[in-house]
Chain A
Amino acid sequence: MTKIKKMFKYDNVGILFVLPAFLYMIVFVGYPIIYNFILSFQDVTVKTLRKDIKEFIGFRNYIELFQQDNVLTLSLWNTLVFTVACIVFQFIIGFALALLFNKKFSFSKPVRGLLMMPWMIPITITGLIFKFMFSTDVGIINYFLRSFGIISENIDWLTNTVTAMPAVIFANIWIGIPFNMILIATGLTTIPAEIYESASIDGAGKIQAFWNITVPLLRPTIESVLILGFIYTFKVYDLVYVMTSGGPVNATQVLSTYSYKLSFEMFKYSKGAAVANILFIILFFVSLLYLKYVYTEEEA
């Protein structure tokens, strides 16, 4: 018996189970992150890629990106606009749907299940679908807007610098709604019905109950949905790349697409790495905030 008890005691056998996965992640994630930092302080282009010794140039890539290249600041701004706009809409719509599906009615479960579909579709395909729907002549969106008399001329959604960003945001909201809905719906089920019953006995209306009971009790869920939404939206890549590739004239250029463009279209690997690093650093701090938040919630 003592031997068996000992098997559960503090010991280092557990690490043998973890080691293979840990080493894998060191090789394919940990090392590349460090390598990416090193790259961003070097001057590696397609010409110097095969050289054994690469020149170290300090912060020059970053300085050049911030001072001479207004595409970087534009991409940073675009990423922020994209993220905030997406989160606001997908959160509000997701919340409304979660409230709806929290009611008990015959179709509640199956319909809620089907609504998860948009989240599962490969993003390349979502990009293709919306590129088709937003296209100028065949696009169904222009057709609807014309039939309702909202516009009289077709809009060049994806090739116009003003409308491209709203179109891409629209597509991303479609992806994000199920995610927000399901997490908020799960949070809602944790609020006991008795609280609402006693509130209604005390004469609270539905709107009062929403603001005074639902929102405060749901706060942990709301906060983690918003921070996670920020992280997932801020690193957007596929959708923008498929729909506009960052164009027209950088109107939808976000950090990830700009990094890709520098590395794999202009073959300035170090510059691309530097932009990716800026994205990484921002997300790293937001993730820290999120993790700190989740852990303090769990301990409380």
Chain B
Amino acid sequence: MKVKQNDEEYNKYVDAVTPKHNCFKNCLNAFWIGGLICLLGQAINNFMTSYFEFNKDDAGSYTSLILVLISVLLTSFNLYKKIAKYGGAGALVPITGFANSVASPTIEYQKEGEVFGKGVKVFTIAGPVILFGIITSFVLGFVYWFIKIIGII
């Protein structure tokens, strides 16, 4: 072609003509979907403490388990995807999103076998979350230990 834009100009132009999601609307949806999942968690938690008379820690663990179970079931029926499409980070940040990210590759890669399919691919999406989660908690643990030693707390 005769007339060529340079890469920078072209990228600017592309950015201008590419439609974007409405950020405010997405935030709002994320807020209420995320809130709803947390509300569900709180309801399960209250039910556990009042009905089964679990202590606070046990009730918390059971709440997480039940939320994970619900998310895995919804993932299997391909329904969690729809919630996440609408709710965005509101559906991805809670533990249900984490469960979805572990369950979905397991379903997708089961054709490639137990070890090289499910085994290798199970944490393809959740892996970075686990890795950086552990690193962050190590760093925070070290900071906690250090400020304890020097006697701030």
- A and B from one assembly? no
Residue positions of B touching A, CB distance < 8 A: none
Residue positions of A touching B, CB distance < 8 A: none
